[in-house]
Structure 1
Amino acid sequence: CYNGVNSRELKHITKELEVNAPASEAWELYRNLGLINLIDRKLTNIFESTEVLKGDGGVGTVVKLTFVPAGNSSYTEKFTVIDDQRRVKETKGLEGDCLAIGCSVQILEYEIIEKSQNSSIIKSTISYAVKEEFQAKDPKPSIQVVEAIVQISKNEVWELYRNLGLFELAANELKNVVQSLQVLKGDGGVGTVVKTTFVAGTSTSTKYPL
C-alpha cells in the first residue's frame, strides 16, 4: 500500500535497455549516488542541478533534481529499496513531476538483469496512481527523462568496462582490496596490460582483450 493506494491500482510504464557490460558493473553505478553524480555531469541540458538533501546514498537518502531552466520545476525522491542480491533500487517521489499535476504516488524502480557474462539489461519501471479528481486529465510521469538517464548510464557503464575506467574505479572505490594499479603497456585499447596489486600483497596482470 502506497499513500493509501493499493498496489493493484498502480499504473506502470516499463522500459528496457541492453548494456554491453556485466550486471555487476551496471549495478555499481545504480546502487548509490553514482547515478546522481552522472546526471549532474552529463544531463546539464535537462537538469540545472542535483542536491543530496539527506543521506549518503543508502536507503533513506533524499535527492532533489532541479530542471532547466533554474527554478522552473524540480523533483524530490527518497531511496526506499537498495537490494544488492536482486540488483533492484527503488525510489519514492516526494515532490514534483507527476505529483505536481495530479498523481498521488510515483515510484521508480531500476532492476539490473544479467543477460550473459558480459551483457545485462537495465529495466526501469515507473509506477504511479492518479487522484480521482484528476483522472480525466490522465497525468503521467516524465518517462522521457528516465529514458535519458538510463541511456547515459548505459554509455557510462560501457566506457568504464571497455577501457581503463573500470580499473581506475576499482582503485578509487576498493581501497580496502586494491593496493595499487599499474598500466604496464597501452592506453586502454586492445593489447593493454594492467597490473593490479591487492592489499594482501598478491597481484595479477590483465591483458586486453579480456
Structure 2
Amino acid sequence: MKGQISSESEVISVPAGMVWDVYGGLKLGKLVDQLLPHVIGRVDVVEGDGGVGTVVKVTHPPGTPGIGYMMERFTKIDDQNHIKETELVEGGFKELGFHLYRIRLEIIDKDTNSTVIRSTIEYEVEDEFAGNASLVTTKPLETIAQVIDKYLSEKKINA
C-alpha cells in the first residue's frame, strides 16, 4: 500500500531564505533539541555535515506512543528550490512494516515577508500492516513549523 499526506504551515513576517537557513541543514535538529525536547525529543547527528547522506537519530521522549527512535538519512537538499527530503532508515515506522517513509519539506515564498512550509510524507507499507498507515501524521512537522515561526519572528524583531 502506498500513500501520501501533506500540510502547509505559514510563517508570518519571515522571508523564505531565513526559514531555509534553519530547514536546509542541521540547524533544525539543534533547534528541536533546544525548543521541543519534551514534544519531539532529541536529535543527534550520527554521520555527516548536514548535506546529502547525513544521518540523524531522533529519540522520542519517554512516554511518547510508538517506537522510541528513528534514524533518517538526508536524501535531497535543493538550495535553489528550498526542498529537503529525508528517508527513514531504521526504527520508527520501519518497525511497523513500512518499506518507505519519506519526508519532503518545501520552503515556499508567499511574498517578500512570509513563507509557507509544505510538509509531505510519502510512504509504502506492507499490505499485512496496512492498518498502520493510519498512524502517519504531519502533526509533529506542523508543531515544529509553529515553533520555528515563533523563534524566527522573535529573532527578526531582536535583530
Structures share a fold, TM > 0.5?
yes
> What TM-score, normalized to structure 2?
0.89
Ranked by relative contact order (alpha carbons within 8 Å, sequence separation 6 or more), the top structure is 2
Cα distance in structure 1, aligned partners of 2:56 and 2:132: 28
> SS state of the match for residue 135, structure 2?
coil
Matched, 1:63 2:56: yes
Larger Rg: 1
- Quick one: structure 1 residues 56 and 138, their matched pair in 2 at CA, closer, same or farther if it must change by over 3 Å? closer
1:9-48, aligned counterparts within 5 Å? 10-20=2-12, 21-48=14-41
Contact 2:88 2:94 in 1 (8 A): yes
Deviation of 1:152 after TM superposition, in Å, equals 1.3
Q: Percent identity?
A: 37
Deviation of 1:136 after TM superposition, in Å, equals 4.3
Query: Could you list the runs of 5+ residues in structure 2 that have no partner in the other structure?
Result: none
- Quick one: structure 1 residues 48 and 114, their matched pair in 2 at CA, closer, same or farther if it must change by over 3 Å? closer
Number of equivalences: 156
Matched, 1:113 2:108: yes
Cα distance in structure 2, aligned partners of 1:57 and 1:102: 28
- Quick one: structure 1 residues 138 and 79, their matched pair in 2 at CA, closer, same or farther if it must change by over 3 Å? closer
1:11-160, aligned counterparts within 5 Å? 11-20=3-12, 21-69=14-62, 73-160=68-155
Cα distance in structure 2, aligned partners of 1:160 and 1:40: 17
Contact 1:102 1:139 in 2 (8 A): no
Cα distance in structure 2, aligned partners of 1:48 and 1:17: 21
> Could you say what the CA RMSD is over the residues aligned between the two structures, in angstroms?
1.9
